[in-house]
Chains A and B, each alone.
Chain A
Amino acid sequence: MYFKYTLNDLRKNRGVNISLLVVLALSAFLMASGAMVMERTLGSVNALFDQAKPPHFLQMHKGAYDEAALDAFATEHPEIDSWLIEDMVGYDSAAIAWARPGTTESGTLSESLIDNLFVTQNTEFDFLLDADSAIAQPADGETFVPVAYQQRFGLQTGDELRIRTDVGIEEFVIAGFVRDSQMASSLSSATRFLVSDADFERLLTSGGSPEIIVEYRLADPAQANDFQAVYESDQSLPKNGQAVTGDMIRIINAISDGLVAIALMFVSLLLISIALLNVRFVIRGTLQDEVHQIGAMKAIGLPDSTISGLYLSKYSAMTLIACIIGGGLAIVASQALTSGMQTSYATAPVTALTFLAPIAALTTVFFIVIAICRHVLRLINRVEVVSALVHGSTLDERQTARRAKRLARRVRRSAFASYGGGDLGRRISLVDLRTEAGQWVLLPLVFLLAVVLITLPTNLLTTFQSPKFVTYMGAPESDLRIDLQFSDDLEQVREDADAALAADSRLVQVRRFANELVETRGDEGWESMRVEVGDYSGDTIQYLRGGPPAAGEIALSVLNADRFGVDVDDAFTVRRDGSEVTLTVNGVYQDITSGGQTAKMAGGATGVVTGYLYYATTTAGQDPTVIASDYGDRFSAATVVPMGEYVSQTLSYVTIAFFNAAVLAVVFAIGVAALITTLNLTLRLAREKRRSGILSALGFSGSELAAQLRFKAILAVVIGTLLGVAVAATLGEALVGAAISLAGLGISSLAFIPNPLLVYVAYPLLLIVVGTISAVTVASRLRRGDTSAWLRA
Chain B
Amino acid sequence: MTLSEAPSTAPVLVRTALVTTALEKSYYSTEPPTRVLNGIDLTVRQGEFLAVMGASGSGKSTLLYCISGMDRPTAGAVRLGDLDLTELSDRDMSHTRLTKMGFIFQQAYFLSNFNLRDNILLPALKAQPKGRAEVEARVDALLERFGISHVAHHGITQVSGGQLQRASICRALATKPAVLFADEPTGALNSSMTLEVMDALTGVHRDGTTIMMVTHDPACAARADRVVYLRDGLLVDERDLGAWQLADTSRREDELLSWLRDHDF
Contact = CB atoms under 8 A, between A and B. Distances in A.
B95 A414 contact: no
A700 B126 contact: yes
Nearest to A431: B113
Given A704-B94, A786-B71, A788-B65, 8 more contacts: A421-B130, A431-B113, A432-B113, A435-B113, A700-B98, A703-B91, A791-B70, A791-B105
Nearest to B110: A694
B123 A698 contact: yes
Interface residues of A, number: 37
A699 B95 contact: yes
Interface string B78-121: 00000000000011011101110101010001111111011001
Contacts of B126: 424, 698-700
B122 A428 contact: yes
Contacts of A704: 94
A689 B77 CA distance: 28
A711 to B, nearest CB: 15
A700 to B, nearest CB: 6
A419 B114 contact: no
Contacts of A787: 65, 70-71
28 contacts: A404-B155, A408-B158, A411-B113, A411-B114, A412-B115, A414-B117, A414-B121, A414-B153, A416-B121, A416-B125, A421-B129, A424-B122, A428-B122, A435-B113, A436-B113, A697-B70, A697-B97, A698-B126, A698-B171, A699-B99, A699-B101, A699-B123, A699-B175, A701-B90, A703-B91, A704-B94, A788-B62, A791-B70
A703 B89 CA distance: 11
The 3 closest A-B pairs by CB, nearest first: A699-B98, A701-B94, A408-B155
B97 A408 contact: no
A83 B95 CA distance: 92
Interface string A401-432: 00010011011101110011100100010011
Contacts of B206: none
A302 B103 CA distance: 42
A431 to B, nearest CB: 5
Given A428-B122, A699-B127, A788-B70, A408 B114 contact: no
B94 A414 contact: no
Nearest to A789: B71
Interface in A356-380: none
Given A424-B122, A436-B113, A791-B105, A419 B132 contact: yes
A684 interface: no
A436 B111 CA distance: 12
A31 B109 CA distance: 47
A700 B94 contact: yes
Contacts of A268: none
Given A694-B110, A699-B94, A699-B99, A411 B70 contact: no
A420 B123 CA distance: 15
B154 interface: yes
A696 B94 contact: yes
Contact of B115 (A411, A419, A691): A411
Interface in B59-76: 62, 65, 68, 70-71
Interface of A: 404, 407-408, 410-412, 414-416, 419-421, 424, 428, 431-432, 435-436, 690-691, 693-704, 783, 786-788, 791
A424 B129 contact: yes
Interface in B9-48: none
Contacts of A697: 68, 70, 97, 103, 105, 109
Nearest to A422: B129
A421 B132 contact: yes
A701 B155 contact: no
A698 B127 CA distance: 10
A140 B71 CA distance: 92
Contacts of B90: 701-703, 783
A791 B71 CA distance: 11
A404 B70 CA distance: 30
Contact of A431 (B105, B114, B127): B114
A690 B109 contact: yes
Contacts of A408: 154-155, 157-158
Contacts of B127: 699
A563 B76 CA distance: 91
A420 B122 CA distance: 13
A699 B132 CA distance: 18
Nearest to A704: B94
B114 A415 contact: yes
Nearest to A790: B70
A419 B110 CA distance: 20
B98 A407 contact: no
Interface in B195-238: none
A697 B105 CA distance: 10
A484 B121 CA distance: 84
Contacts of B175: 699
A404 B113 CA distance: 11
Q: Taking each of A410, A415, A420, which has the highest tally of chain B beta carbons within 10 Å of its own beta carbon? A: A415
A428 B68 CA distance: 24
Contacts of B125: 416, 419, 424
Contacts of A428: 111, 122
B91 to A, nearest CB: 5
Contacts of B115: 411-412, 414-415
B157 A404 contact: yes
Given A404-B157, A404-B158, A791-B70, A701 B113 contact: no
Contacts of A698: 97-98, 103, 122-123, 126, 171
Nearest to B69: A787
Contacts of B118: 411, 414-416
Contacts of B114: 411, 415, 431
Nearest to B96: A699
A414 to B, nearest CB: 6
Contacts of B91: 701, 703
Contacts of A691: 111
Nearest to B129: A421
B167 to A, nearest CB: 13
